[in-house]
Chains A and B, each alone.
Chain A
Amino acid sequence: MARVIVDVMLKPEILDPQGKAVEGALERLGLAGVASVRQGKRFDIELDGGIDEARLAQVHELAGSLLSNPVIEDYRVKEVPQ
């Protein structure tokens, strides 16, 4: 079993109203000095069998097409050692 994490975040220049709402809530609940909150998505993918370069390339391709929208989001793929 191989495990790959894909993190997706809105690009810095895209307004993140959800992050803003969370930022306000953190402040209301007493956390001082919140400069900024951005909310993203994490995909935790488990793959049967090992992971080779071809498979990793496939994950990258789908991370950039299905899991994220390159117009508004950036993604990062991370292999997790088992």
Chain B
Amino acid sequence: MTVGAVNERSVTVGKVRVGVVTFPGSLDDSDAARAVRVAGAEPISLWYADADLHDVDAVILPGGFSYGDYLRCGAIARFTPVMAEVIRAAAGGLPVLGICNGFQVLCESHLLPGALVRNERLHFVCRDQRLRIEQVDTAWTSGYASGEEILVPLKNGEGGYVADDATLDRLEGEGRVVARYLDLNPNGSRRDIAGISNERGNIVGLMPHPEHAIDSLTGPSTDGLRFFTSVLQRLVSA
């Protein structure tokens, strides 16, 4: 590759726009936006009441407690104006990453199967969690090696992934378990599932927080950054 080609490429990278949605009660939108910036893309703030994705190339639904977790986590956020647009665009192939509360919103929206329920022992769990990345053929994990083990923070009270056996068998059979918990299962998730994708691999939901593991000053590792560089690579090469 010539130097000119590299420069051209980095100019293109600078133009990739990744939207980060803020719902009432979102917490990790700033960290997600920072991760997008560190990865080399431009973070675009999206507001829950604005039925417009502002021409972004990908969307992140961040962690937090949208609507105070009232009713069910993510249940009310799912019906916001911005989510109608996210659901429409995701069906068309837009890369969407839901982290923690964002994963709950994706399940409530039926963009991903299953649901997240109260942790098995009712405790809120906050720890640095080892994961195994099992599916690298998604918009958000292509930068990892299959079977790679990473360390990222996990913090949730309702992170137990549940689905019926037929759904779990299908997810495993179709290679849609994106990440699994290692060492211990922190929340009672069935089959140690930490993250899943849709059939197409453009939508990924993940309970742990890669956006908190992009800088060794503030995180336990920088292992999380590749979720954000993966989507950038996908969009640049598309």
Contact = CB atoms under 8 A, between A and B. Distances in A.
B108 interface: yes
Interface residues of A, number: 12
Contact of B115 (A17, A18, A21, A71): A71
Helix, strand, loop or mixed for chain B's interface? loop
Contacts of A18: 118, 122
B117 interface: yes
Given A66-B71, A67-B71, A69-B72, A13 B118 contact: no
A17 B121 CA distance: 7
B199 interface: no
A14 B117 CA distance: 9
Range, interface on chain B: 20 to 34
B164 A13 contact: yes
A47 interface: no
12 contacts: A10-B117, A14-B162, A15-B120, A15-B160, A15-B188, A17-B117, A17-B118, A66-B79, A69-B108, A71-B113, A71-B114, A71-B162
Interface of B: 71-72, 75-76, 79, 107-108, 113-115, 117-122, 160, 162-164, 188
6 closest A-B pairs by CB: A71-B115, A72-B115, A17-B118, A17-B122, A69-B115, A69-B72
